[in-house]
Amino acid sequence: MITRLPSQPAVRGARSAVRGFLAVVATVALALAVAAPAGAQNSRKPENMLYLELTSGRVAIELYPDSAPKHVARIKELAREKFYDGIVFHRVIPGFMAQTGDPTGTGRGGSGKKLPAEFSRDLSFERGTIGMARTADPNSGDSQWFICFAPAPHLNGQYTIWGKVVEGMDLIDGIAPGEPPAQPDKIVSLRVAADVEGGK
């Protein structure tokens, strides 16, 4: 139902117009916040960010705990145990993805703790998206993960997305290619941003 408001004097009308404009802006901002993608609502909170240190510099990763809570919890747990420090990128396919997370560097190792799949209909594999590697069993994610160099829609609904690179994608582009690379790049460290900023 549309209600017509009575007209007001010019000055009061101008003030009302300004108030009305501000109300519209506030409403739009609220609507955008509510409609934000699942992962975006946690954007930039230190507890939901990782710092991936490479020999070439720092990469910032946003985590998606709303979409993949078990995967995010496991990645943070392993990061806090310094599990990833020194691990190489053992499988790097130009134009597709860079894979890491295997302490043996062969692509066959892991942490020994499997995770159930957490596929999302709200997220898709784009440039910078991070997914959990697995075997043919959807519930076999462990510690290995990959970062997409380019959109990979054929992976949607097949691999759990738990985060995305938000700063430093140019450093990811510079990771040595190969399966395995002749001289693989390695993770210097992977830390939860809250721990770094908190002095841990």
Segments in the chain below pLDDT 50: 1-12, 14-15, 18, 21-22, 24-42
Question: What pLDDT does 41 receive?
Answer: 45
Give me the sheet containing 187-192, strands edge to edge.
Answer: 91-93, 97-100, 145-148, 129-132, 161-167, 57-63, 49-54, 187-192
Contacts of 126-131 with CB under 8 Å at 24 or more apart are 126/151, 126/164, 127/151, 127/169, 128/164, 128/165, 128/166, 128/169, 128/172, 129/161, 129/163, 129/164, 130/61, 130/161, 130/162, 130/163, 130/164, 130/165, 131/155, 131/159, 131/160, 131/161, 131/162
Please report the domains of the chain, with CATH numbers, ordered by start residue. Answer: 39-197 (2.40.100.10)
At 7-38, the pLDDT tens digits run 333 434 544 554 554 454 444 444 444 444 44
pLDDT at 44: 76
